[in-house]
Chains A and B, each alone.
Chain A
Amino acid sequence: MIGFEPKIIGFLCNWCSYEGADAAGRARKAYPAGLRVVRVMCSGRVDSQFILEAFKEGADGVMILGCHPGDCHYKEGNLQMLKRYVILKRVLSQFGIEEDRLKLDWISAGEGDKFVKIVCEMTERMRQLGPLPR
């Protein structure tokens, strides 16, 4: 779709992923401006209601980025999120929200490059899917 800049809400955990995004920033890496970051203490804090609310309020895609398994500051918040994510994706498809519109991935504090790559890929995929109808 031409001229469509997807809006993406990113929930980034304070300890790894937000640091990773910061690292990308410090290294002056460019990434699509459509990402709106919400810093959370842990990816496990991302209630399914927040995700639905984001889609309702205008997000074309939602990303949750947390620490790699084993690195969670609260031991297994990220794994709780993983389980929630797998079930929620199935529910979302019944709401007509394509699987790819919700993404969970792991970014460590040093992975600025991976952060940029994931945001670019997600944005590209949302461009292909087009705006989420409401």
Chain B
Amino acid sequence: MTEKPKIALYWCSSCGGCEESVIDLAEDLLTVAAAVDIVFWPVALDFKYKDVVAMNDGEITATLINGAIRTGEQEHMAKIMRKKSKLLIAHGSCAHLGGVVGLANFYQREDLLSRLYQEVPTTNNPQGILPQHETIESGRKIKLPDIHDTVKALDQVVEVDYYIPGCPPTPELIKEAMMMVLENRLPPRGTVLAGKKALCDTCPRIDSKPDKLRIKKFKRIYETEWDPEKCFLDEGIICLGPATRGGCNARCINANMPCRGCFGPTDNVRDQGAKSSSFLASIIDVTDKEALKKTADSIPDPGGLFYRYGLASSILKGKLTPKSS
């Protein structure tokens, strides 16, 4: 009997949703599982780090890593998995672009730590202790993974062969990616394994999207009721479909929610946030300075909205702050 291809799954800074998306393969998971040997999957199966470390370089056919890189341990594991795998696949928005956790790059690490461990009202930490990389407890040194200054996408620490986008990716895309690996029909290295065009192109509401959109005020969804058949933008609700890669089956739109951009930019866009802010600007129907400012102010957190999934891999990558010496 020939050996089955070996597959590994690993998680870094993630919420667990991408792991769940693998489980969402449902019966298909059994088909995939029967065709491969899962050699490492800490969240679901009991393997040890040393099992992977003991493997030969390139022994694993493909590893799917989800989650962004924000600790030393995650970077270390990403490097090990890279070495042991023929193909390394970034699984989900966080590994692909930095994801929601990448929004931390709008703040400094110290501010985040003090906020979380000292200031949040529900925190009970009278001594104000912050997590330390190293500490001495009863004469023994204890180490925790170090937390990096910035959150990074997977390809900012190791070479990545393919990307499965989405927060989380759809089971269909994961299955298709696995089949591409197993049937040896992968596209050129570096490809994002999803749609090529913007989401609008495959949106069920595209027919109601006017050629010339004109908006005076952006409405938030709690401020308005909208026609569930019509293009969100035409209703004055921000939808990032025009600046987002398609391939998600328009699942948010089908759930009557506007797109928030989790599939990242299309191939010819470098910075999804910049593109989103430009296309929204272009549909504003006022040019008078005061009115324009009011319209712009009707987007409360533009950075957080336009860069919700891609701040870490954007042009500026996060807040520009003086380097601490």
Contacts and interface: CB of A to CB of B under 8 A. Distances in A.
Interface of A: 47-49, 51-53, 55-56, 69, 79-80, 82-84, 86-88, 90-91, 94-97, 132-134
Given A49-B315, A83-B287, A87-B280, A133 B299 contact: no
A48 B278 contact: yes
Given A48-B274, A49-B315, A52-B316, A86 B292 contact: yes
B323 to A, nearest CB: 7
Nearest to B286: A83
A91 B269 CA distance: 18
8 contacts: A48-B274, A69-B287, A83-B284, A86-B292, A88-B278, A94-B303, A133-B320, A133-B322
B292 A95 contact: no
Nearest to A130: B322
Contacts of A82: 287, 292
A59 to B, nearest CB: 12
Nearest to A79: B287
A79 B289 CA distance: 11
Contacts of A47: 274, 278
Q: Which of A52, A56, A86, A134 is packed against the most chain B CB atoms within 10 Å?
A: A86
Contacts of A91: 273, 277, 302-303, 306
B281 interface: yes
B292 A84 contact: no
B287 A88 contact: no
Contact of B292 (A55, A83, A132): A83
Given A79-B287, A80-B281, A90-B296, A96 B275 contact: no
B290 to A, nearest CB: 11
Interface in B114-130: none
Interface of B: 106, 269-271, 273-275, 277-278, 280-282, 284, 287, 292-293, 296-297, 299, 301-304, 306, 314-316, 318-323
A96 B321 contact: yes
Given A82-B292, A133-B323, A49 B303 contact: no
Contact of B293 (A86, A97, A133): A86
Q: Which of B281, B284, B292, B297 is packed against the most chain A CB atoms within 10 Å?
A: B281
B277 A48 contact: yes
Contacts of B320: 55, 95-97, 132-134
Nearest to A81: B281
A53 B315 contact: yes
Given A80-B282, A94-B302, A133-B320, A49 B277 contact: no
A82 B301 CA distance: 20
A97 B303 CA distance: 12
Given A49-B274, A86-B281, A133-B323, A95 B296 contact: no
Contacts of A94: 106, 301-304, 319
A90 B275 CA distance: 14
A52 to B, nearest CB: 4
A82 to B, nearest CB: 6
Contacts of B280: 87
A84 B273 contact: no
A31 to B, nearest CB: 27
A94 B106 CA distance: 7
B158 to A, nearest CB: 23
A123 to B, nearest CB: 20
A69 B306 CA distance: 28
Contact of B277 (A53, A79, A88, A97): A88
Contacts of A87: 277, 280-281, 296, 299, 302
Given A48-B275, A49-B315, 17 more contacts: A48-B278, A52-B314, A79-B287, A83-B284, A83-B292, A84-B278, A86-B293, A87-B296, A87-B302, A90-B296, A90-B299, A90-B303, A91-B273, A91-B277, A91-B302, A96-B319, A134-B320
A133 B297 CA distance: 26
